Amino acid sequence: MCIKPGEIVGLTGPVGAGKSTLLRLLVGLLEPDKGIVQIDGCPFHVKKVREMVGVLFQHSSRQLFEKTVYDDIAFGPSNFGFDRRDIERQVNKAVNIVGLDKSLLEASPFGISGGEQKLVSLAGIVAQSPRYMVLDEPFAGLDTKGKTRLPHILQTLQNMGLGIIVISHHLDKLLGVAPRIIYLRDGIICFDGQRQQYLLDDSLPLPPITALMKRLHARGLPVNPATFTVKSAIKQLEYLETGDVDNA
């Protein structure tokens, strides 16, 4: 598989499929038995990779430790040798991208909510200004506000030219952010392709709303079988009710 800059890839699969192992391979925490990992065509060099690839771990709020949120976000950049002014700029940029409340910067990272902690750890990674990012279950532990915020954050990062891999079990959320989906089972890539193709493949697990729309479509209702958001499903069904079939 290959991930390009400016691309968001969704990685999913059952428990034990090897998603987290793949993540560890990508950042050099594990060494591959077979095959190679290349970043920007360069041979794999652990120290360089850690600078180029930012990782958000599943329980990322466990990694916070500094006295203030600001210091915690600055931990990564200061380790990678940014000078003080650059660190400040990076932290401010990251906080803006993530949409964190500026008043939180002086607070202790342990006094804020779980969802905010997740955003702080995400900001810590954005502040390292990596070329690529791997996010393991970024939706887990986020509150509703954070969940609606996250796709926008990813969009901004994508526009900045970052290649992003999102690992998640939440299929509906994943489909919402990633145009390209990779499905992993027992360490083997079963599917790698566009979102629309994924939704039409019957052998792969689907979000409940897609399964419903597919059934309705099979019964002869004029709905889109590749619908994956509840919002769009409601819209289509409303059109059906009013009889405006063309719009549906």
Partner 1 sequence: MPDYFLSFVPGDSFLHKLDPRTKLIATMLTSILIFRLHLTGLVLLFAFFIVLYDLSSVRIALLRNLRPIAPFLILIFIFQLFLIPGNIFIDLYGFSATTEGLFEGLRIVGRFILLIQFASLLTATTSPAHMTAGIERLLRPLSGKVLGATSFEIATMMSLSIHLVPVLNRFLKEVYQAQLCRGLGRQKRISGLVSLAIPLLRGAFRMMDDISMGMESRCYQGNYRTSLFELKMKKNDWIALMLVFVLLLGFWNLNITLIPSYQI
Q: Which residues bind partner 1 (CB under 8 A)?
A: 24, 27, 29, 50-51, 53-55, 57, 59-60, 62-65, 75-76, 78-81, 110, 124-125, 128
Please say which residue, 129 or 236, places its beta carbon nearer to partner 1. 129
- Rounded to the nearest angstrom, the gap between the alpha carbon of residue 198 and the centroid of all alpha carbons in its chain is 18
E-state strands within 151-242: 163-167, 180-185, 188-194
| Min CB(178)–partner 1 separation in Å | 22
Spatial contact of 11 and 165, defined as CB atoms under 8 Å apart: yes
* In the complex, minimum distance from the CB of residue 148 to partner 1, in angstroms, rounded to a whole number: 26
CB of 76 to partner 1, least distance (A): 4
| Residue with smaller CB distance to partner 1, 13 or 124 | 124
Residue closer to partner 1 by CB (options 85, 219) is: 85
Report how far residue 161's alpha carbon sits from residue 248's, in angstroms, rounded to the nearest whole number: 35
C-beta separation of 136 from 23 below 8 A = yes
Shortest reach from residue 6's CB to partner 1, in Å: 22
What is the H or E stretch that residue 200 is in?
helix 195-200
- CA-to-CA distance for 100 and 107, rounded, in angstroms? 12
Between 137 and 236, CB nearer to partner 1: 137
